Structure 1
Amino acid sequence: MKRWILSGIFSILIFSAAHGQGDYKTFYERSLKTNNTGMYILGSWAVANMVAGGWGWSQTTGQTKYFHQMNFFWNTVNLSIAGIALYSNLNASFSDFSTMEIMEKHTKTENLYLINAGLDVLYIGTGFLLKHLATKKPNRHDLLKGYGNSVILQGSFLFIFDLVLWKIQYDHRLNFIQNLSFNYLPEMSGFQLALTIPVN
C-alpha cells in the first residue's frame, strides 16, 4: 500500500515539475526578494548600532561604555554578512537552474535561518554567562557585564530575525507546493489521488 501511495505522490511532483518551470522561477524570485529584504533590515540594524555604539563608546564610561563597544564590534560582522549576501543575491542568475536546483537552494537558505536561530540561543546564553562571570571578577565587572548585556541584545534580535525569516520562507515553500498540486490537478487532492490508486 505504501509503495502505491508514494508512487502517487512522486507522480504529482513529476507532473508539477514538468509543467511548472515558469512557476518555479517566480517562486525563487520571491524567495530572493524576501532574503534581500531581510538583509536590508539586518544592514540597517547594523548601521544604527554602529553609529549609536561608536557614539556611546566615546561618550560614556563603565559598563555602558563596554555595552556600546560590543554593539559596535558585533555589528561590523552583521553589516559584512548583509553586504555579502545582498551582493550575491542581486547578482544571482538562475535562468538555467533546474526545478530541483531551485528547490534545493531555497531549502538550503530556509534551513540556514533555522540553524542560525539555534546559534542565536547560544549567543543569548553566552551573554548571561558573561553577566554571571562579572559577579565573580570584580576587576573586570564593567567589561563583562557590558559585553554580556550587548550579546543578549544582539542575540535576541538575531533570534527573532532568523526565526521570522525561516517561517516566511517555510510557508512560502509549502504554499507553492500546495498551489502546484491544485493548479495542475484541480479536481483531486493528493489524498484523494492516493485513494484512487489500486491497493493490493
Structure 2
Amino acid sequence: MRKILTLSFCFFSTLAFAQKNSLDSFNLKREKKLQHGMLVLSSWAAANIAGGLVLGSTTSGEAKYFHKMNAYFNVVNLALGQLSYWGSRKNEGKKMTFAGSVRTQNGIEKTFLFNAGFDGVYMLGGLYLHERANRHTGKKRDQFRGYGNSLILQGGALLLFDGIMYHIQSRHGRWLDKKLSGVELTAGTGHAGLTWNF
C-alpha cells in the first residue's frame, strides 16, 4: 500500500510540475508577443515623429499640418509603446497561478479591443476636422484638413495594429481555454467536487 501511495504521489507531482512548466511557458510566450507588438508600435511612432518633424518644417499648406500632427500624435504612441514594452519585460519571469494567468490574458485581450474603439474615435474626429475645413479658407482650412487627414491615417494604422494584436493574443489564449474546458464542478447533497480532465 505504501508503494502505491508513493508511486501515486510521484506521478501526480510530476504531472503538476509539467503543468506548471507549461503555464510558465505560456506566460512567457504571451509577454514575448506583447513585447514584439510594442516594438512595432514604437518603431511606427519613431518613424512618424522623425518624418513629421522634417517634413513639417520643409512643406507648406495642408501637408505641413498633416506632418506636424503625425509627429505630435506619435509622441504619445511612443511613450505608451515603451511603457508597455518595459512593463512586459518586468513581468517576463513573474510566476503566476492559473487564475492569475487567465486574468492577465483576458486583460490584455480586452485592452486591445478597448483601444480599437478609441481608434475608431480618432478616425471619426479626423473626418469631422476634414468636414470643418470646408467652412474655412486659407490657413484655417489647411490646418483642419491636415490635422484631419493625419487623424484618419493614424487612427486607421492603430486600428489595424490593435486588431492584429488582439488576434495574436486571442489565438495564444486558446491554450487556457482548452485547459479550462477540462474543469468540471460537481455538487450534491453534502458534497462538492472539482474534476480536472487532462
TM-score (structure 2 length as normaliser)? 0.78
- Secondary structure at 1:96's aligned position in 2? coil
**2:141 is the counterpart of 1:141:** yes
Match of 2:124 in 1: 125
Match of 1:157 in 2: 157
For residues 181 and 58 of structure 1, the distance between their equivalents in structure 2, rounded to whole angstroms, comes to 56
Match of 2:8 in 1: none
Match of 2:168 in 1: 168
- Secondary structure at 1:91's aligned position in 2? helix
1:52-102 deviations in whole A, cap 9, x for unaligned?
A: 100111101111000000000001111000111111111225543211111
Match of 2:32 in 1: 33
Match of 1:57 in 2: 56
Q: What letter corresponds to residue 148 of structure 2 in structure 1?
A: G
Q: Give the superposition deviation at 1:176.
A: 4.4
* Greater Rg by CA: 2
Contact 1:50 1:76 in 2 (8 A): yes
For residues 38 and 115 of structure 1, the distance between their equivalents in structure 2, rounded to whole angstroms, comes to 16
- Secondary structure at 1:136's aligned position in 2? coil
Question: Which structure 2 residues correspond to residues 94-109 of structure 1 after superposition, within 5 A?
Answer: 95-109=94-108
For residues 147 and 88 of structure 2, the distance between their equivalents in structure 1, rounded to whole angstroms, comes to 33
How many equivalent residue pairs? 168
Q: CA RMSD in A?
A: 2.2
For residues 18 and 99 of structure 1, the distance between their equivalents in structure 2, rounded to whole angstroms, comes to 13
Question: Which structure 2 residues correspond to residues 15-94 of structure 1 after superposition, within 5 A?
Answer: 20-92=19-91
1:109-148 deviations in whole A, cap 9, x for unaligned?
A: 1110011011111111110110000001225100000000
1:3-58 deviations in whole A, cap 9, x for unaligned?
A: xxxxxxxxxxxxx9896222111111111111100000000001111111001111
Structure 2: unaligned runs, 5 residues or longer: 1-14, 185-198
Higher strand residue share: 2
Q: What letter corresponds to residue 108 of structure 1 in structure 2?
A: G
Q: Indicate the structure whose relative CO is greater, using CA pairs within 8 Å and at least 6 residues apart.
A: 1
